[in-house]
Amino acid sequence: MAMADVTLRRATIADIEPLVLLFDGYRRFYENPTDIEGARRFLTARLEAGESVVFVADRDGRLVGFTQLYPSFSSGTMNRLWILNDLFVAPEHRRGGVGAALLAAAEHFAREDGSKGLVLATQKTNATAKALYERCGWRPDALFDHYLRFF
């Protein structure tokens, strides 16, 4: 898939080094400390094991954004779902349609996979992301509150 001067494609292990830098930027956005080596290990393990699907936005041979999907299932519908866990566009490439294009790539993939749909979560204060999601047809979940318990 291509849009203007951006090409969207599924990431491979060959993309690991530039992807690590974007992933670290994503983690820092959510106030995690930088950890390049940890990011490299984490992403390499996910890609090599086929535990996630990553789409990247490439502009002139440079990765400028990514989204990472994890498989899940819905017991109620008895279908596969994909968790759109990560979406990040480098700050200097925002507001140019890259985020929307990455969301569209994720949706296309999930539809082709025969999935029921996609789910995602973002910080309550992330108004920019919420506006993007809603412009792209996503709606807040009216039925369920989501809870976390980390160890």
Q: Got the DSSP string for 4-19? A: TTEEEEE--GGGHHHH
3-state DSSP assignment of residue 84: strand
Which CATH number is 53's domain given? 3.40.630.30
pTM reported for the whole predicted model: 0.92
Q: Is residue 151 part of a domain?
A: no
For residue 63, give both structure tokens: 């990765």
Q: What is the pLDDT of residues 12-24, one digit of tens each?
A: 999 999 999 999 9
State mean pLDDT over 25-40: 96
Residue 141 lies in a domain: no
Domain count, the chain: 1
- Is 149 inside a domain boundary? no
pLDDT for 4 equals 58
pLDDT digits (tens, 9 = 90+) for 85-129: 999 999 999 999 999 999 999 999 999 999 999 999 998 899 999
Using the structure block, give the residue that is written with the tokens 């990560």. 86
Domain range for 114 is 2-135
- Residue among 105, 133, 136, 14 at smallest CA distance from 63: 14
| 128 contacts 88 by C-beta, under 8 angstroms | no
Q: What is the mean pLDDT of the chain?
A: 93
What is the mean pLDDT of the segment spanning 132-136? 94
Domain-embedded: residue 69: yes
128 inside domain = yes
